[in-house]
Amino acid sequence: MSDVPAKLTVVTGADAPGRKRLTSVLIHVALLSASVLMLYPLLWLLAASFRPENEIFTSASIIPSAWSLDAYVRGWNGLRTSFGTFYINSFIISGLSVAGNVLACSMAAFAFARLDFKFKNFWFAMMLMTLMLPYQVTLIPQYVLFRQLGWVNTFLPLVVPKFLAADGFFIFLMVQFFRGLPKELDEAARMDGCSPWRIYWKIILPLSMPVLATAAIFTFIWTWDDFFGPLIYLSEMKSYTVMLGLRTFTDSTGESDYGGLFAMSVLSLVPIFLFFLFFQRLLIEGIATTGMKR
Amino acid sequence: MTARSLESGAPATERAATPSLWSRIWHNDAPGYLFLLPWLIGFLGLTIGPMLTSLYLSFTDFDLLTSPDWVGTDNYMRMFTNDPKFWASMRVTMFFVVFSVPLKLAFALAVAMLLNRGIRGLPMYRALFYLPSLLGASVAIAILWRQIFAGDGLVNKFLAMFDIIGPSWISNPKTSLWTLIILSIWQFGSPMIIFLAGLRQIPTDMYEAASLDGASKWRQFVKITLPLLTPVVFFNAIIQTIEAFKSFTPAFIISGGTGNPINSTLFYTLYLYQEAFGFFRMGYASALAWVLLALVGLFTAFSFLTSKYWVHYDE
């Protein structure tokens, strides 16, 4: 029994180059087929949005027989309010969320990573705890609160929490990065009489562009994708986001106009896809270093 | 003393020499708290305050319009003894968690191992596999999924090529939940990236030593890769499980907000949403939320307690 592995090693040793090439080809074949299988639905969706309506349900191919933009025109004005309004709303909400998250989370992270104060470890532990907290636990009282403030049907319930650093994930992400910057920077600046605010604004933030960009991009994508928040807080169609518009489309005209629904679905993914195209390195590094959930 | 050190901006040495309480607080603690202020307001006003309120509401009858009526433990009693929909949603969610998380992580690890063999085109593959993770939470993808698994959808068109007539996977209660599990597995990209980062940390000389000793690939995987990767597995498992418990959008879109057919996609979060914003039973929904918190908390505590038996950390 004990000499079998030894024999095997000798055999593989003899044909190593050929076998290695074969394994490598097999791995590429496996990976490529997996990629095609995974991306096929997305490509099919893209193709379906350009197909003439009568062809959508007859074809499984990803190349339309004829190209048409009809579905986009129909879908854009498929509801009482045009998708243009939904896009503007989504961009406003996502844009403000990015500003709020980057500012408030970087301030909190600066306090945790570079300043000393009483009960710092306690607050840091509390912040980590909020990462695990299901949002349902705070949902109803928050709704009651925002309703009493008269904020229902405005963007405020979706945006104000971002200015209060409600997403601890980004604080955590930034704390990790800030801790990596040399401590001597702060000490030298303090010797020169720099206030903590100046150290934060003039030294730490400019050196932290990669992590700020990562946080900004993830905030944008998550807010853009968010369905639950808008579903609860926005009830008038003129304040809908793109995601709510899509959902309304599936309820009303969606059953009859699949082309329009698919065209608007594709359009709703375009901003995320563009971020993926241009910033994938930042996104992937952000996930690899902090273990982001998506 | 206090006034003077405030005025002069008190250089560090002088402050240390004359540490009056107030100046110490002002110089040492105040900047930290000022930077933490937005988060603190949010934490107290949007997290702790609402948590306590929802704990209180869970013992009341509350319809949002009239003030809450104290009912003691009625909500919890009804939930556990007299609410078949609660148990249905619990079963659906547990089934989803138990199947989607391990399968997703197994896929993520398998692909990460393939990618970690120094193959060419790694950045391309990594990006392609990651794309579904990035897009997957969108309403658009849930809409696409509903079409793919519909009676006349993409899956059945492929099956038709082999003369198989597939059912409508979405409207069959036996398969509808599986379409959501597949959607979750499809998004294995982000745990895969985390696994890849973990695999890179394993020193290659360990494998060289092992293969000189004649250890097979499988033995190397079981004896080297897996133990050294357990911290990453642990991390991924916790994050993905909590995410799976909280999942809402796909089930909502695919079932049109109903959780049908026959409650087979009635996720716990979806049931909670229906109770709160469909029937305005805010007290009952708060009780549901606390049971969810207890579940997630128990799971996390259990994982951390057992972790010392199977998670290997470097000393």
| Torsion over CA: B55, A161, A92, B248 (sign) | negative
Distances from the Cα of B52 to the Cα of A119, A140, B45, B132, B301, angstroms: 22, 11, 11, 37, 21
- For chain A, how many structural domains are there in total? 2
In chain B, which ranges are continuous DSSP H helix? Answer: 2-7, 12-17, 21-24, 30-42, 49-57, 74-81, 84-115, 122-135, 139-148, 154-161, 176-186, 189-200, 204-212, 217-220, 226-246, 249-254, 268-273, 282-310
List the single residue in B46, B211, B290 with the smallest CB-CB distance to A164.
B46
Residue B68, domain member (yes or no): no
CATH assignment at residue B96: 1.10.3720.10
pLDDT number for residue A66: 75
> Do residues A157 and A283 share a domain?
yes
Range of the domain at A7: 3-68
Q: Which residues of A fall within a CB distance of 8 Å from B136?
A: 294
Cβ contacts of A58-63, under 8 Å, gap ≥ 24: A59/B157, A60/B154, A60/B157, A60/B158
Cβ within 8 Å, pair B57-A251 = no
Retrieve residue A141's tokens: 């009282």
The reported pLDDT for the residue numbered B3 is 41
- Dig out the tokens for B31 from the structure: 């900047």
pLDDT the model gives residue A62: 75
**Cβ-contact A33, A247 below 8 angstroms:** no
Residue B85 phi/psi, 5° resolution? -65, -35
pLDDT, position B1: 37
Same domain as A184, residue A85: yes
CA of A132, closest CA in chain B: separation in Å? 7
- Separation between Cα atoms, residue B140 and residue B85, nearest integer Å: 28
Looking at CA atoms only, how far is residue A16 from chain B in angstroms? 14
What band does A15 get if pLDDT is binned at 50, 70 and 90? Answer: low
pLDDT digits (tens, 9 = 90+) for A64-101: 777 888 888 888 887 888 889 999 999 999 999 999 99
My answer on whether A106 and A244 are in the same domain is yes
Nearest chain B CA: its distance from A67 CA (Å): 20
**Residue A275 belongs to domain with CATH number:** 1.10.3720.10
B121 contacts on A by Cβ (under 8 Å): 28
**pLDDT higher than 90, residue A291:** no
- Whether the ω angle into residue B261 lies within 30 degrees of 0, i.e. cis, is yes
String of b and e for B85-102 (b: at least 16 CB within 10 Å)? Answer: ebebbbebbeebbebbbe
Judge whether B82 lies within some domain.
Answer: yes
Q: What is the pLDDT of residues A180-197, one digit of tens each?
A: 888 888 888 888 888 889
Within 10 A of A147 (CB to CB), how many other CB atoms are there? 14
Domain boundaries, position B304 = 74-310
Q: Of A11, A44, A68, which marks where a domain is finished?
A: A68
d(CA B18, CA B1): 8
Alpha carbons within 13 A on the beta-carbon side of B103: 16
Shared-domain flag, residues B123 and B249: yes
The percentage of residues in chain A with a pLDDT greater than 70, rounded to a whole number, is 90
Kindly state whether residues B47 and B86 are assigned to the same domain. no
pLDDT for the residue numbered B17? 52
Same domain, yes or no, for B102 and B14? no
pLDDT given for residue B117 in this prediction? 82
- Number of structural domains found in chain B: 2
CB of A119 closer than 8 Å to CB of B230: no
Q: How confident is the model at residue A6 (pLDDT cuts 50, 70, 90)?
A: very low
Same domain for A11 and A157? no
Q: Same domain, yes or no, for A64 and A77?
A: no
pLDDT reported for residue A64: 75
More confident residue, A251 or A231: A231
Q: Is residue B219 part of a domain?
A: yes
Residues B80 and B42 in one domain: no
State whether B118 and B193 are in the same domain.
yes
A61 and A99 belong to one structural domain:
no
A83/A29 same-domain check: no
Residues of chain A numbered 110-139 and touching chain B (CB < 8 Å): 110-112, 115-118, 120, 123, 126-127, 130, 132-139
In chain A, % helix, strand, coil (3-state, to 5) comes to: 75, 0, 25
Last residue of a domain, one of A45, A68, A91: A68
Residues B98 and B226 in one domain: yes
pLDDT in tens, chain B (315 residues): 344 444 444 444 444 555 677 777 677 788 889 999 999 999 999 999 999 999 999 999 999 888 898 998 999 999 999 899 999 999 999 999 999 999 999 999 999 998 888 788 888 898 999 999 999 889 999 999 988 888 788 888 888 888 888 788 888 888 889 999 999 999 999 899 999 988 888 888 888 888 888 888 888 888 888 888 888 898 889 889 988 998 999 999 988 878 888 888 899 999 999 999 999 999 999 999 999 999 999 998 898 898 888 888 764
Rg (CA), chain A: 26
Residue of B nearest to A136 (CA): B289
CA distance B115 to A251: 42
Record the pTM: 0.86
Q: Where a domain ends, among A68, A84, A117?
A: A68
**pLDDT, chain A, mean:** 86
**Residue B69 included in any domain:** no
- Are residue A86 and residue A190 in the same domain, yes or no? yes
Long-range contacts of range A118-124, CB-CB < 8 Å, 24 or more positions apart? A118/B28, A118/B29, A120/B32, A123/B36, A123/B40, A123/B43
Radius of gyration of the CA atoms of chain B, in A? 26
Over the stretch A225-238, which tens digit does the pLDDT of each residue have? Answer: 999 999 999 989 89
Region A232-249: mean pLDDT is 92
Do A279 and A193 have their domain in common?
Answer: yes
**Are residues B219 and B187 located together in one domain of the fold?**
yes
pLDDT reported for residue A68: 81
Contacts of A200 in chain B (CB under 8 A): 35
Six-digit token pair at B2? 């206090």
Looking at the fold, whether B39 and B105 belong to one and the same domain comes out as no
| The residue count for chain A | 294
- d(C-alpha B276, C-alpha B48), whole Å: 20
What distance in Å separates residue A180's CA from the closest CA in chain B?
18
Task: Give the pLDDT band (50/70/90) at residue A253.
Answer: low
Tell me: do B17 and B128 sit in the same domain: no
Whether residue B189 is contained in a domain is answered as: yes
State whether A93 and A64 are in the same domain.
Answer: no
Tokens encoding A282: 């930042």
Q: Choose between A293 and A59: higher pLDDT.
A: A59
Predicted confidence (pLDDT) per residue in A104-143, tens digit: 999 999 999 998 888 999 999 999 888 888 889 999 999 9
